[in-house]
Amino acid sequence: MARRASTRKRRPRNPTLGGGPRAPNYRKLTNPFPPVSAFSEDRIEDIHNNAFVVLEEMGIRVLLPEARKIFRQGGALVDEDTGMVRIGREIIVEALKTAPPEFTLRAGTRERDLEMKLGALTFLPGAGAPHATDLKRGRRPSSLSDYRELVMLTQYFDALHMVNPLVEAQDIPTNLRHYSVIETQLTLSDKFPSAYSRGSPQTLDTFEILKNFRGLSDDEFQAEPWCYTIINTNSPRVLDIPMAQGIIDFSRHGQMTVVTPFCMMGAMAPASVAGALILSHAECLAGLALAQINNPGAPVCYGAFASNVDMKSGAPAFGTPEQFQANLGSGQLARKVGLPWRCAAGSSANINDAQAANETQMGLWSCIMAGSTILVHSAGWIEGGLTVSFEKLITDMEVVQIIAELCAPTPNSEDDLAMRALWEVGPGGHFFGCQHTMDRYQSAFYDPLIADWSNFGTWTENGEQDASQRALTKWQDIIADFEPPKINEDRKAEMEEFIAKRTAEGGAFPVS
């Protein structure tokens, strides 16, 4: 039991505050958790092979003639009368060979660029809701103003990596909405933007605006993904016209297509995880194949979003064990095809309560353990996607930020071992005032976004605010203090001019 002189140090005379404030880097995350499996490798192989049976024998109904033509060119059997397309597994295998396993997403600035590959981790807020809600203004059909505010919140949080269509700008006519959506994203954020696939005219408008705003030539735009779209198949086994057009347009122009069947077990998919995965996998492979036949090498993401319905009511449920297992299984399938992939959390709760928090966090962990690359609906999504809650976006971001913290290594320097502090503080003493604590008091620990750790007395004196009430203050502060990214004013003026011209011409109606 010889003393080690080097580790022994008595209390310094005058502990002094030191160290700078915390500056965590949430911008580029690598998932530190090993992927977890829901099925044996054999069973995943069975699911994979059965998905081929679905594509080869049952077929998928493709509503867009151009898409059927591309599938036929790729070797699929097409019945023009019924729209049914049967796709041999060799076609899928070839398509997966040309899909790039790694690529870079180009944002407004290089610091916001993102690597797409298995192991990378990006978070996106809730998307696609027709309603917005907050404690100040209540629940309402969502507007452009809501969308603008939610894009500001998205821009504010470094742990949100892409901009997405959080809510519908329902006050903007559908022939003009896509202009507002892309303009909002480009002027309020420098993160990687999204576009709905609602027909080629809207898509090509969006590409034109984005390309010019980023100052890119046609070739530069074509060479790398500058935006993305989410493609939802109409499960079971239908690829509709706007979705098929989206795959064709985005892949043709080298932009990222995320093919995500939305398979509710017991409704649009079988009432079993394995059955739903067969359907989801088959539909996803069909979409990926369409992109690759159309333009080999186009950047694509595997996508999956399967959960179950309440068998008594048919209501969609999220954060369930079945969603968890489906996400883990989808991760196995994504790794099998070797592509970056998109998964999702979510909640069916109607307000930002304990149920809402628990469902979304459960979904987040399922995606993390499933190794998903793009984690959609990470924050704010309630009512099974019918509403984005401003307060829930904030309370969920606490969880997202904590997970982002865990992506960095646990501090483990000699100084972190703290042997001097252990010598300094005697039995029954405390570490509040020792030099080791002073040196790191601003940076040692995560600084919470919204959590209130005060004791019951203090909390009561301060007005007994629950997490949602504190979140109400927080999002209002963020929006009040919002500073948009620096943008090129000339290009902004050009964008406005283009939009004015296109608006005068009647815009572009969605295709259906």
Q: Using alpha carbons, select from 112, 103, 101, 116 the residue that is nearest to residue 163.
A: 112
Stretch that binds its own copies, among 164-172, 193-201, 463-471, 486-494 (CB under 8 A): 463-471
CB 7, CB 420: distance < 8 Å = yes
Q: Which of 166, 169, 306, 369 binds its own copies (CB under 8 A)?
A: 369
Q: Site mask, its own copies, residues 405-424, x = CB under 8 A?
A: xx---xxx--xxxxx-xxx-
**Which CB sits closer to its own copies, 154 or 435?**
435
Stretch that binds its own copies, among 121-129, 148-156, 218-226, 310-318 (CB under 8 A): 310-318
CB 11, CB 424: distance < 8 Å = yes
Interface of this chain with its own copies, residues 313 to 352, rule: CB under 8 A: 313-317, 319-322, 324-325, 328-329, 348-352
The residue to which tokens 């903007």 are assigned: 172
Q: Would you state the torsion angle of the CA atoms of residues 371, 374, 380, 382, taken in this order, to the nearest 10 degrees? A: -70
The residues, any chain, with a CB within 8 Å of residue 157's CB and separated by 6 or more, are 26, 397, 400, 401
Stretch that binds its own copies, among 172-180, 241-249, 337-345, 433-441 (CB under 8 A): 433-441
Interface of this chain with its own copies, residues 146 to 205, rule: CB under 8 A: none
**Which CB sits closer to its own copies, 92 or 176?**
92
Both tokens assigned to 468: 């949602």
Q: Using alpha carbons, select from 257, 261, 262, 241 the residue that is nearest to residue 294.
A: 257
Residue 93 bridge partners (DSSP): none
Q: Tell me the CB-side half-sphere exposure of residue 125, using CA atoms within 13 A.
A: 34
Q: Site mask, its own copies, residues 384-403, x = CB under 8 A?
A: x-xx----x--x--xx--x-
The residues, any chain, with a CB within 8 Å of residue 9's CB and separated by 6 or more, are 420, 423, 424
Closest distance of CB 53 from its own copies, Å: 6
Interface of this chain with its own copies, residues 71 to 90, rule: CB under 8 A: 77, 84, 86, 88
Q: Which of 134, 149, 383, 499 binds its own copies (CB under 8 A)?
A: 383
CB 26, CB 399: distance < 8 Å = no
Q: Which of 455, 489, 501, 512 binds its own copies (CB under 8 A)?
A: 455
Closest distance of CB 337 from its own copies, Å: 19
Interface of this chain with its own copies, residues 19 to 48, rule: CB under 8 A: 32-34, 36, 38-40, 43, 46-47
Residue 231 bridge partners (DSSP): 259
**Which CB sits closer to its own copies, 427 or 506?**
427
Antiparallel, parallel or unpaired: β 29-30 and 262-265? unpaired
Interface of this chain with its own copies, residues 224 to 253, rule: CB under 8 A: 234, 236-238
436 binds its own copies (CB under 8 A): yes
Q: How many residues bind its own copies (CB under 8 A)?
A: 133
User: Could you give the angle at which helices 390-406 and 354-370 cross, rounded to 10 degrees?
Assistant: 40
Kindly provide the residue ranges of all beta strands, DSSP E only, lying in 197-330, ordered along the sequence: 228-231, 238-239, 256-259, 262-265, 300-303, 305-308
Q: Site mask, its own copies, residues 117-146, x = CB under 8 A?
A: ----------------------x-------
Q: Which of 66, 102, 224, 452 binds its own copies (CB under 8 A)?
A: 452
Q: Which of 156, 459, 482, 509 binds its own copies (CB under 8 A)?
A: 459
Interface of this chain with its own copies, residues 85 to 114, rule: CB under 8 A: 86, 88
**Which CB sits closer to its own copies, 419 or 479?**
419
50 binds its own copies (CB under 8 A): yes
Closest distance of CB 311 from its own copies, Å: 5
Stretch that binds its own copies, among 107-115, 118-126, 169-177, 274-282 (CB under 8 A): 274-282
Q: Site mask, its own copies, residues 345-364, x = CB under 8 A?
A: ---xxxxxxxxxxxx-xx--
What is 454-497 written as a DSSP string?
--HHHHHHTT---HHHHHHHHHHHHHHT--PPP--HHHHHHHHH
Both tokens assigned to 196: 């709905």
Q: Using alpha carbons, select from 319, 432, 430, 334 the residue that is nearest to residue 378.
A: 319
